[in-house]
Chain A
């Protein structure tokens, strides 16, 4: 049913199916929550389109509030050694973090659910036009991708190059 709601929001259902889903939605509170959640995800994904283009005033006020003018040379010349020492310490800290964190991540991996598959070639996708995300469209796939791509475990593996193809 949830997949059908998603399909309805993406305008991918035929009219009789749409009417049936809408009837169920009116009666079922749980489905209404799913409907709200999908819309919330869709709104968040498109949040940037809500942003105003005219940001000069806000940027200018923030810039004016900045007390220090950019001057990299005096900073670099005066504190090179201290900065290097801090950098080395931080590098050691990050390395320790990765070393400690990666085995923990690996321990979390358990058994998979077995699935049988009949392999065949996917078809037809290269004939499709690229469509912009539509108003009201939800994408739990995108939310899951964003979750994982900011997961520190994933980022660490990505940065350190421990993964395999």
Chain B
């Protein structure tokens, strides 16, 4: 009996350690995928599908120039727009104002740079699972799935190219399994483009993201929040930035706090209550939802990549104190 008990214990320990090693190995693969997704030189075309209906296609070129990433993506259909990345600077280009705003929207989804470099951040909020082998754009790849631990956030799956670990396909699905967004390469070449001309923007109007954001006054920094306190957010969400700003067309400044879990960003807006505002939950586009509720003498609005009702539940459980 003692022998069989010991054998059972040893085999259980072996199984547990084996599972832990596999999970650790999977996170290591995702870490490489993050680097590859941000930096791998490439030329390709990818399809972006939102829900079951809307699709758009982008041509993307990327290279390393003197240690700096040079990247340009251009829409092949719909409104003409380009997003150019030089190092950490992101600039949208378009021929007219409407297209330029659309370009700014496109600049928020920079496939295949879809994983944070520090994937350890994700372990707080997600479990990783390796699954089947597949082929995308003529290349062999392996599926890895990030499953949200709190069942509030979307699950995200990535088919990673076998050698470079570049994400060739990404699928975002609800906790119930419904697919809400996909990115997939339809052609890919893991080499830098031969000509540098492909990195030159062709449109005249431009918008550089970080210089265009002009907060009227900054709140305490992300690492020193003192006058505004927010609690009740799920594990893994960290304060990235807090500013006080007036939104376009409005004179009254409001608090704008940005939270992120490494994959998802949430904006929380806190402003004095206005009579004309009503509680509501809106599915803005694709994975992006918005919810608004009254909160004492204030009005809370949350925008982020989360199913609408889940975002509303999260907003309801959020507690805000302003001194």
Q: Is B55 an interface residue (CB 8 A)?
A: yes
Chain B residue contacts of A5, Cβ below 8 A: 249
Query: Residues on A close to B: CB < 8 A?
Result: 2-7, 12-13, 17, 34, 37-38, 40-41, 43-53, 55, 58-59, 62-63, 66, 68-70, 72-73, 75-76, 86-87, 89-94, 97, 101, 105-106, 108-126, 128-133, 137, 139-165
Q: How far is the CB of A108 from chain B (nearest CB, A)?
A: 6
Interface size class of B (residues with CB under 8 A): 35 or more
Do B290 and A139 have beta carbons less than 8 Å apart? Answer: yes
Kindly identify, within residues 209 to 260 of chain B, every residue whose CB is under 8 Å from any CB belonging to chain A.
209-210, 212-213, 217-225, 227-228, 233, 237-241, 243-245, 247-251, 253, 255-256, 258, 260
Given contacts A143-B248, A146-B104, A146-B108, contact A124 B279 (CB under 8 A): yes
Cα of A72 to Cα of B201 in the assembled complex, Å = 28
Q: Is B278 an interface residue (CB 8 A)?
A: yes
Q: Is B120 an interface residue (CB 8 A)?
A: yes
Q: Is B177 an interface residue (CB 8 A)?
A: no
Tell which of B54, B191, B248, B253 touches A51, judged by Cβ atoms closer than 8 Å: B54
Cα of A67 to Cα of B188 in the assembled complex, Å = 11
Q: How far is the CB of B64 from chain A (nearest CB, A)?
A: 5
Q: Is B200 an interface residue (CB 8 A)?
A: no
Do B217 and A111 have beta carbons less than 8 Å apart? Answer: yes
Q: How far is the CB of A43 from chain B (nearest CB, A)?
A: 5
Cα of A46 to Cα of B220 in the assembled complex, Å = 34
Chain A residue contacts of B67, Cβ below 8 A: 86, 89-90, 92-93
Q: List 22 A-B contacts (CB under 8 A).
A: A2-B251, A47-B79, A49-B54, A50-B79, A51-B78, A55-B56, A59-B76, A62-B59, A68-B43, A72-B161, A93-B67, A106-B223, A116-B323, A119-B296, A121-B295, A145-B304, A147-B209, A150-B209, A152-B88, A152-B90, A158-B240, A163-B239
Q: How far is the CB of B117 from chain A (nearest CB, A)?
A: 5
Q: Is B269 an interface residue (CB 8 A)?
A: yes
Q: How far is the CB of B173 from chain A (nearest CB, A)?
A: 17
Q: How far is the CB of B214 from chain A (nearest CB, A)?
A: 10
Chain B residue contacts of A93, Cβ below 8 A: 67-68, 87
Chain A residue contacts of B10, Cβ below 8 A: none
Given contacts A49-B54, A53-B55, A141-B290, contact A116 B322 (CB under 8 A): yes
Chain B residue contacts of A112, Cβ below 8 A: 217-220, 227-228, 244, 255
Tell which of A43, A51, A90, A119 touches B319, judged by Cβ atoms closer than 8 Å: A119
Chain A residue contacts of B50, Cβ below 8 A: 48
Chain A to chain B: the 9 pairs with minimum beta-carbon distance, closest first: A44-B101, A51-B78, A130-B308, A47-B102, A140-B247, A122-B293, A163-B238, A7-B276, A145-B267
Do B322 and A115 have beta carbons less than 8 Å apart? Answer: yes
Chain A residue contacts of B288, Cβ below 8 A: 142
Q: How far is the CB of B141 from chain A (nearest CB, A)?
A: 11
Do B164 and A43 have beta carbons less than 8 Å apart? Answer: no
Cα of A12 to Cα of B59 in the assembled complex, Å = 41
Q: How far is the CB of A65 from chain B (nearest CB, A)?
A: 10
Chain A residue contacts of B97, Cβ below 8 A: 40
Given contacts A50-B78, A117-B298, A141-B303, contact A158 B262 (CB under 8 A): yes
Chain B residue contacts of A140, Cβ below 8 A: 247-250
Stretch at the interface among B1-9, B19-27, B148-156, B310-318: B310-318
Task: Map CB proximity to A onto B52-75 as digits: 1 under 8 Å, 0 otherwise.
Answer: 011111010000100111000000
Instruction: Kindly report which residue of chain A lies nearest to residue B85, judged by CB atoms.
Output: A152
Given contacts A141-B267, A150-B108, A156-B88, contact A55 B163 (CB under 8 A): no
Cα of A131 to Cα of B120 in the assembled complex, Å = 35
Q: How far is the CB of B41 from chain A (nearest CB, A)?
A: 8
Chain A residue contacts of B251, Cβ below 8 A: 2
Instruction: Kindly report which residue of chain A lies nearest to residue B87, judged by CB atoms.
Output: A97
